[in-house]
Amino acid sequence: MKKMKDLADDYEIKPLSDIYISELLKLQENAFLNLENEELLRRNSEATLLDCLVNHYTLGIIYKGALIAFGILYFGKLTSENIGYDLDLNPDEIIKTANIKLIIVHSAYRGNGFQRRLIRELETEAIKRGFKTLACTIAPENFYSIRNFEACGFGFCKQKQKYNGLIRNIYSKKI
């Protein structure tokens, strides 16, 4: 595993466009190859990831020209994809809720604080865009993500069956 002190001068964080679709798919597959339980992560289709690159906000961490991590800020509006519905918010609050849909860090670069960095950067972007609440779902057994989101100020709200019957913890944060 590469440690942050070795990466400090050589990585950049930037918004991603649709030209990164193949790299997002590769990074997602890397994540699944390194999971002991595939239910810890929701697999997203190429079409879904492309939609996130084009119509939402996807932030990447690039190291020596390669994408090593990404996070997606998803604008669910008043669709069923907005986690604000799971929080029992009213429509005025739901429209001001953005989801952190997905954060993936390549297995070789975990342990460097990249997930927390992406959470904070996505929160900053959500604030700039006028959102008031951030929400996310996390598998109850995904202790690393739970710890990282809680360290960034997210609180547990409830547990709910989501995504083809998978149980997820729902977290949110007022911003």
Ordered DSSP codes for the chain: ---HHHHTTTEEEEE--GGGHHHHHHHHHHHHHT-S-GGGS----HHHHHHHHHHSEEEEEEETTEEEEEEEEE--TTSTT-GGGTTT--HHHHTTEEEEEEEEE-GGGTTSSHHHHHHHHHHHHHHHTT--EEEEEE-TT-HHHHHHHHHTT-EEEEEEEETTTEEEEEEEEE-
Q: What is the pLDDT of residue 40?
A: 74
pLDDT of amino acid 67? 97
Given this model, what pLDDT does residue 173 score?
A: 99
Q: Domain 4-174 is classified in which CATH homologous superfamily?
A: Gcn5-related N-acetyltransferase (GNAT) (3.40.630.30)
Give the range among 41-45, 90-94, 113-117, 155-159 with minimum mean pLDDT: 41-45
Q: Name the least confident of 1-15, 23-37, 42-56, 127-141.
A: 1-15
Question: Using 50, 70 and 90 to split pLDDT, how confident is the model at 68?
Answer: very high
Give the pLDDT confidence score for residue 168 in this predicted structure. Answer: 96
| pLDDT for the residue numbered 8 | 62
Q: What pLDDT sits at residue 3?
A: 53
Higher pLDDT, 157 or 40: 157
Q: What is the pTM of this model?
A: 0.92
What's the whole-number mean pLDDT along residues 121-127? Answer: 98
